[in-house]
Structures are given as C-alpha cells and as structure tokens.
Structure 1
Amino acid sequence: MTITATATPGKSLISPTDHTLVLIDFQSQMAFATKSIAAEVLRNNAALISQAAKAFDVPTILTTVAEKSFSGPMFDEIKEAFPGQAMLDRTSMNTWEDAAVIAEINRIGKTRIVFAGLWTSVCIVGPVASAIDQGFDAYFIADACGDISPEAHERAVQRMVQLGAKPMTALQYLLELQRDWARSETYAATTGIARKWGGAYGLGVTYAKTMFGASEGQHG
C-alpha cells in the first residue's frame, strides 16, 4: 500500500478555534498544599497558558471552588489575562457536575476541551473523565496542574491517559497554537509570551533577537 504525505497538520493538533480552555481552581488554598510542582513554576505556567489563550482568542472558562468561604481568589496571573471575566464558583469538586459550567461549555459549543488546574487527582481527573464519557475530546496541560505529592499527580496523569486524554505542556500549548512562524498576525504575541514566561527558551528568543535581529519566520 502506498501512502502519500501532504503538507497538512494532524487532526489531533489543537488550533485556536477548535477547543475551549477550562482553568480550574488556581486558588491560594489549593496551591498551599501543592507539592508536585514548585509554586513559582505553577504560577508561571498558568500565566503562560492564560496569555496564550488571550492572544489567540481561545474561549476560556474560569472556575473556582468555594472562593469566598474557603479556597480564596484565582491567581492574579490568570485574572490579569482575562480582566473582568466572571469566575464560575462551584461547590462540586468535579467541575463537570456544575450546571453553570456545563451551560458555558454548551454555549461555546466546542467538542475539544483543554483542562488545567488544581489538584490533578481530583479537580482535573473528574471533569476529564466525565467529558470523555460524554464524547468530548479531552486534553490536559500537565505542567499547569499540580497535586499534594508527585505520586498523586503522576497517578492522576496516568489515569487520564488511560482514559484517552492527551497530555500537553504549557509551552507546547502556546507553540501549537502558533504552529507556523509565518503567521505574522500572532508572531509578536507568541514570541512576547515566550520571552516573558517561556523559561530558557524565552531567554534564547531574547538573545537571538537582541544579538542578531533574528526572526523565527526567516529561512536559514
């Protein structure tokens, strides 16, 4: 059998228009007990994906649990990316069991959903498993999730992968949205986000642009 390659992206790759981003319980009380990832790395990655979603106009749902009575406010890094957007506060640990969140999922109308938040084994596994059960295509940003121990996080990741969810990283999320440096309309936003929140890669972008005036959209 002959297979012919074509210059087209794989169907499993995300695009700015094919998914909803759901950010769950990035709150103080949840972060205090998170030990699988350093707090500063978690905050950085939350900022990175939030800014990426904002830059590419990805429909995004922000949800908290017991914000006023127990868990505290959403991270400033996320609120700054979505100024004025309502936080859908819940009592349920499983976001997918909250009627207001599900109404927003249905209003947006995307069948592919990307999740991130705290904690991986409870507040991410719950909606991921529920979404998959209802026929949605689920992704999760593994390094923008955290849990009370590395063991808890890794077993949750393993469980979601076994269910069919696709793991990603925060920087991967940004770069997969861009995917082609010739897309000039989002080039500046993508490199700007990478420079501020992209770690060593961001330093490399800054170095190349400062020293050589380099541009990723140029052929060598």
Structure 2
Amino acid sequence: MTDRKYAEMLTPDNAVLAMIDHQTGLMVGLGDEHPTVLKNNILGLINTAKAVDLPSVITASMPQGPNGPVMPEIPEILGSEVVEREGEINAWDSIAFKNAIEATGRKKIIMAGIVTDVCLLFPALSAVAEGYDVYAVIDASGTWNKTVQEVTMHRLTQAGVKVTTWASVLAELMNDWRHPHGDALGRVLAEHTTKYGYVMNSHFAK
C-alpha cells in the first residue's frame, strides 16, 4: 500500500520551503542552465512561496568565505533570516537549519540548492531517511554541467525524493484556479514563465 504521506499533494498548509546555498560564489560556475533562466526560476519559486505564505528556511555555507553571500533577492522576498552554517557541507547536519525545519511542524520539504549534487542532494537524502517527503526543485537548483545534473537526479529518485520543477510546485500548491491564492499564483506565472506567461498576461489585460 502506498504511504499516504507520499501520496498526499502539496498544499500551502503542509509544506515548507528550504533554499540551500544559493550563494554568489557558487552561482558563477554553474553550467547546466543559462544564468538568466536559473535566476528567473529561483525567483518564480520564492515568489510562489511568498504568494501562499509558505514558511521558508534559507541557509548558507560559510558566506564570509569563497562561496559568498546568498543571492540577495531570496531573503528580501521571503523575509527570512539566513541560517549561516559554520562548516557543515550537508545542511541537515546543521542543528540550526534542522531545528528551523522541524519548528514548522511540516513533513513536506520543497528543496532547492546550489550545487545540485551536493547542497541539494545531501540534505534531501538525509531528510528522506528521517521520514520527510522531499520535493527537489531541479530547475531552481544548479550544478557544473548537464551530466552532473542527470546523475544527481537518478540518485535522488532512487532514494525516494520527488524530482520536480518550480512551475509544477506552483500548480500543485494552487490545485484549483478558484483557490484563494489563485490570482496571486497566476501573476507569478505571468511574471516568471515564458510562453505561458504570455497567456497569463493576455488574460490579465482583459
């Protein structure tokens, strides 16, 4: 029988967003997505969370070092403080980060991280091992090249992590255009998607 926790859909009331190590020093070396596209995807994801008042946890690995600070738009939009890790590579090993997730009381974690094969992969595996239902948002994460991305997605799915995209997360959270957050989420789509954004902009122009 399928575990009902894993079959249950995302809602604004059962999930938490974790943004892991979207740091300027890491982002300059990414090669699996165009930088402009990746930034747009990240903004789409965090604005989705903001539109539905989703709790969020932001973390950074030694931001005073070569990894640099977190992309400034992330804490500005989410309104959350950055959990600065002292040296743990796996964010799940940080007591402060893990406590912040646990404090929400939610078992579904929408996760994005840079780089995908370390900063996203390791905490996703650790959280799943402790019974969390993890959604790895691949297009709001980034790594060195497509090969590394593809290998990482295989390992994530083998462990039971749900590999997804930010627009899919938005649609799952909305569930119905008549949802109280439907209009706000539609505007996120209009601003941060390309072809469907034209559809939404046309609709809002009526």
> TM-score, length-normalised on structure 1?
0.87
Q: Does 2:122 align with 1:140?
A: no
Matches within 5 A, 1:16-165: 16-83=12-79, 85-90=80-85, 91-165=87-161
Q: Which moved more, 1:196-205 or 1:72-81?
A: 72-81
Give the AA of the match of 1:66: M
Shift of 1:80: 2.7
Q: 2-side partners of 1:77 and 1:175: how far apart?
A: 23
Indicate conservation of the 8 Å contact 1:43/1:75, yes or no.
Answer: no
Q: Which runs of 5+ in 2 are unaligned?
A: 1-5
Report what 1:195 is aligned to. Answer: 190
Larger Rg: 1
1:79-138 CA distance string (max 9 Å, x none): 23123x210011211010001001112211211111101011101110011111111111
| Residue equivalent to 2:173 | 177
CA drift of 1:56 comes to 0.6
Question: How many angstroms apart in 1 are the aligned matches of 2:38 and 2:89?
Answer: 20
CA distances 1:159-206 after superposition (whole Å, capped 9, x unpaired):
0001111111111111211110112x2122111111111221111111
Identity within the alignment, %: 28
Q: CA RMSD in A?
A: 1.4
Superposed displacement of residue 76, structure 1: 2.7
Cα deviation, residue 40, structure 1: 0.9
Who is 1:216 aligned against? none
- Give the letter aligned to residue 89 of structure 1: E
Equivalent pair of 1:43/1:77 in contact (CA under 8 Å) = no
1:207 equivalent in alignment to 2:202 = yes
d(CA) in 2 for partners of 1:206, 1:72: 36
CA distance in 2: counterparts of 1:197 and 1:161, whole angstroms: 27
Question: For the residues of structure 2 that align with 1:142 and 1:82, how far apart are their CA atoms?
Answer: 19
Compute the displacement of 1:207 (Å): 1.9
Q: Which residue of 2 aligns with 1:3?
A: none
Deviation at 1:75, TM superposition (A): 1.4
Contact 1:117 1:124 (8 Å CA) reproduced: yes
- Following superposition, the deviation at residue 69 of structure 1 comes to 2.2
How far off its partner does 1:12 sit? 3.4
How far apart, CA to CA, are the structure 2 residues paired with 1:160 and 1:50? 22
Question: When the two structures are aligned, how many residues end up with a matched partner?
Answer: 200
- The alignment's TM-score, normalised by the length of structure 2, stands at 0.92
Runs of 4+ in 1 over 3 A off after TM superposition: none
**Contact 1:54/1:82 (CA < 8 Å) preserved in 2?**
yes
Instruction: State the distance in 2 between where 1:144 and 1:121 align.
Output: 13
